[in-house]
A and B are shown apart, each in its own frame.
Chain A
Amino acid sequence: MVHKLQKDMLVSEFCGMRFDTPLVLLSGCVGFGEEYTRVKGFTNRDAGAVCLKGTTLEPRLGNPPHRVCETPQGMINAIGLQNPGARHVVDEILPTLDFDETRFIANISGSSIEEYAEVARIFDDSPIDAMEINISCPNVKEGGVAFGNDPDMSARVVEAVRAQTEKPLITKLSPNQTDIQENARRCIEAGTDAFAVINTLMGMAIDIEARAPIIGNNQGGLSGPAIKPVAVLKTHQVYQVCRDHGIPIIGQGGVTTADDAIEFLIAGASAVGVGTALFYDPLVCKKINDGIVAYLERHELTEVAQLVGTLVLNG
């Protein structure tokens, strides 16, 4: 067996980008890239990539409070895409990030196809490493998941963004739809380079004393361990479509441990997202990376890629 340094075992290539680890910090959980560096012991270097908060053309104030609450094995959020607008992100925030530490991915949103395209055009002329198209945000009235639930609309958004940029394009799919495989097929035809699977599931939590929803927006996106089995299945399903096209997936939804991450890799993900788990433990990435290395060694594998899509279905 070739002997590799442990940290090299975690390195992979994703759409032509070098990921130092298979972990991707998820959009909406780490602000615009610097927030978690407040925590001693945390470093963006523990992640292969960091997805920035969903960004629209104009600034958005987002939804009224409360925006988050804990639910069994997870949480509901309805932030409503609060962001300072694409121009501000490119002009004021990107220059403050350290691109030596990790790859930074923009998460682009819009309420019309034109808006998605315009945001993509702004990011195309920036040092950003890649773009993730968020056609699955459940928390805004217009756009978002409305595009993601309809394969035709999804494909049109991807096509419009593709026309604006040569940078790697990742399409983020919603679990709140009937046929995720058909949607994936159409997005591949439209030119996506990769997928992120899945965004949050829609949910509600009720304050029984007030008989009102806890979340200001009434409903929100459910994330965390509660959604993991759904996310693993969807990753497996999308992988069936992607495999022959060589299109990689960032599997995500409820990952908190190395075992969770390995499940996603086996199901077909080439990289694994970590979102809600950071709220539980800001230093979780190091632990997941160490666990993945230990697993690879135990199974006499030398790199993460050897694990991707190795699922053996039962008879």
Chain B
Amino acid sequence: MPKAPGRAHDATDTDNPPTVTDTMPNKRPHRDTIHVENARILERAEHPGDQVILRVHAPQMAASAEPGQFAHIQCDPDLPLRRPISILRVDARAGWADFLFKVLGTGTRRLAERRVDDLLSILGPIGKPFEARMTHRRPLLIGGGVGMPPMVFLADRLREIKGAYEPFVIMGSEVPFPFEARPSQIVVPGMPEGVIAAMPLLDDWGIASRLASQQGYPGTFEGYVTDLARAWLDALDEEQRKEVAVFACGPHPMLEAVAALAREYRLPCQVSLEEFMACGVGGCAGCVVEVQTPKGPAMKRVCVDGPVFEASAVFPAA
């Protein structure tokens, strides 16, 4: 299963001091885990709502990337500070990686202007990935907006362990989905009448998915991803619900709602967070978020202590 890549001692961590033995000179597993690649753009697809999907040739990153990890990308040499973008999919054998991003400001606009055959400086894979456990064989994956990519990647990995997991994926978006939705071939318990649209890629993989939006797209649930998640959870029996673990990536308010839902149903929940970054490798402490630890609040770096965190540490019960 996705395992944590090697981590350097968290030097800015005041509550969880590293032990000397796990970072002895001959034992520094964090070293050489992130690659710098001049990645050629192989394919580029534009979607409504200023969304772009890029496929790049980045064989070193593709070989070791895990769901939840991201790449730190130089959008344009004139804008040298990199921008973090989640890894959507990789093919380790072919050496490519996909990204989905939405134009937000200068950096992402420049990135959207890059064309096939252009070279992109890519630093990756970075960060602590999602960790699925066999004890929870019904993962619920929730992706909102440009939080969808890590969920697709996680679904891809879960299906590799044939029959071990039975995931359900909910994608939410307030701009048109960056794929052509189609009626699902897979029956999902608890779905309201007419909620049949699925992400074709996931359907082809045999993974159940449904879509949610306030925009009334055909076949899509009109409402929040959490409402659709609740409908699904309520349709499961007690034993099945105990096998659910929640994984989420998306806008902060969505993550907060997902965390609250997970708390209500007593489900383990991991969320992927965003924060402005400079180095992307743990050096500057520029990307921290406040998390709760047994010893009180701590500032954790999204780039290497995250981006995936336990929801309960980020959104403690009120």
Q: Which residues of A contact B (CB under 8 A)?
A: 28-41, 53, 59, 61-62, 64-70, 75, 77, 79, 82-85, 88-89, 92-93, 95-96, 98, 256, 276, 278-283
Given A38-B304, A62-B288, A79-B286; A92-B276 close (CB under 8 Å): no
* A34 & B30 in contact (Cβ 8 Å cutoff): yes
Is B245 on the interface with A (CB-CB < 8 A)? Answer: no
Given A38-B8, A96-B20; A70-B81 close (CB under 8 Å): yes
* B14 & A36 in contact (Cβ 8 Å cutoff): no
* A31 & B36 in contact (Cβ 8 Å cutoff): no
* A35 & B8 in contact (Cβ 8 Å cutoff): yes
Given A34-B11, A84-B13; A65-B288 close (CB under 8 Å): yes
B19 nearest CB neighbor, chain A only: A92
Is B215 on the interface with A (CB-CB < 8 A)? Answer: no
* B276 & A28 in contact (Cβ 8 Å cutoff): no
Total inter-chain residue pairs, C-beta < 8 Å: 155
How far in angstroms is the closest Cβ of chain B from A193?
26
* A92 & B17 in contact (Cβ 8 Å cutoff): yes
Given A31-B11, A34-B23, A65-B276; A278-B286 close (CB under 8 Å): no
* B34 & A82 in contact (Cβ 8 Å cutoff): no
Interface of B is mostly: loop
* Residues 36 to 53 of chain B near chain A (Cβ within 8 Å): 36
* B278 & A75 in contact (Cβ 8 Å cutoff): yes
Is B121 on the interface with A (CB-CB < 8 A)? Answer: yes
* A53 & B25 in contact (Cβ 8 Å cutoff): no
What sequence of 0s and 1s flags, for each residue 84-128 of chain B, a beta carbon within 8 Å of any chain A beta carbon?
A: 000000000000000000000001000000000000010100000
How far in angstroms is the closest Cβ of chain B from A243?
34
* Residues 267 to 318 of chain B near chain A (Cβ within 8 Å): 275-290, 297-299, 304
Report chain B residues within 8 Å CB of A93: 9, 11, 18
B275 nearest CB neighbor, chain A only: A65
> Which of A32, A39, A280, A281 gathers most chain B CB within 10 Å?
A39
* B286 & A95 in contact (Cβ 8 Å cutoff): no
Query: Contacting B31 at CB < 8 Å: which of A37, A70, A89, A276?
Result: A37
Q: Which residues of B contact A (CB under 8 A)?
A: 6, 8-9, 11-14, 17-18, 20, 23-25, 28, 30-36, 60, 74, 79-82, 107, 121, 123, 275-290, 297-299, 304
Given A34-B11, A35-B11, A96-B20; A40-B32 close (CB under 8 Å): yes
* B279 & A38 in contact (Cβ 8 Å cutoff): no
Query: 5 interchain pairs (CB within 8 A)?
Result: A32-B11, A37-B32, A40-B36, A96-B18, A282-B123
Can you list the 7 inter-chain pairs with the closest CB atoms, starting with the nearest? A32-B11, A68-B286, A280-B80, A35-B282, A96-B23, A70-B81, A40-B32
Report chain B residues within 8 Å CB of A95: 20
Whole-angstrom CA separation of A83 from B20 in the bound complex: 18
Report chain B residues within 8 Å CB of A279: 80-82, 278-280, 283-284
Given A83-B12, A279-B81; A68-B284 close (CB under 8 Å): yes
Given A41-B36, A62-B299; A82-B283 close (CB under 8 Å): no
Report chain B residues within 8 Å CB of A281: 36, 80, 121
* A40 & B34 in contact (Cβ 8 Å cutoff): yes
* B81 & A31 in contact (Cβ 8 Å cutoff): no
Whole-angstrom CA separation of A92 from B79 in the bound complex: 37
Whole-angstrom CA separation of A28 from B32 in the bound complex: 21
* A278 & B276 in contact (Cβ 8 Å cutoff): no
* B276 & A67 in contact (Cβ 8 Å cutoff): yes
Whole-angstrom CA separation of A68 from B123 in the bound complex: 19
* B34 & A29 in contact (Cβ 8 Å cutoff): no
* A38 & B32 in contact (Cβ 8 Å cutoff): yes
A280 nearest CB neighbor, chain B only: B80
* B123 & A39 in contact (Cβ 8 Å cutoff): yes
* A68 & B278 in contact (Cβ 8 Å cutoff): yes
Whole-angstrom CA separation of A5 from B279 in the bound complex: 33
Given A65-B275, A66-B275; A96-B9 close (CB under 8 Å): yes
Whole-angstrom CA separation of A37 from B30 in the bound complex: 8
A66 nearest CB neighbor, chain B only: B276
B107 nearest CB neighbor, chain A only: A70
* A69 & B283 in contact (Cβ 8 Å cutoff): no
* B12 & A67 in contact (Cβ 8 Å cutoff): no
Report chain B residues within 8 Å CB of A40: 32-36, 60
> Which of A67, A69, A88 gathers most chain B CB within 10 Å?
A67
* A30 & B283 in contact (Cβ 8 Å cutoff): yes
* A84 & B11 in contact (Cβ 8 Å cutoff): yes
Whole-angstrom CA separation of A75 from B278 in the bound complex: 9
* A62 & B285 in contact (Cβ 8 Å cutoff): yes
Report chain B residues within 8 Å CB of A67: 276, 285-288
Given A37-B28, A93-B11, A280-B80; A65-B36 close (CB under 8 Å): no
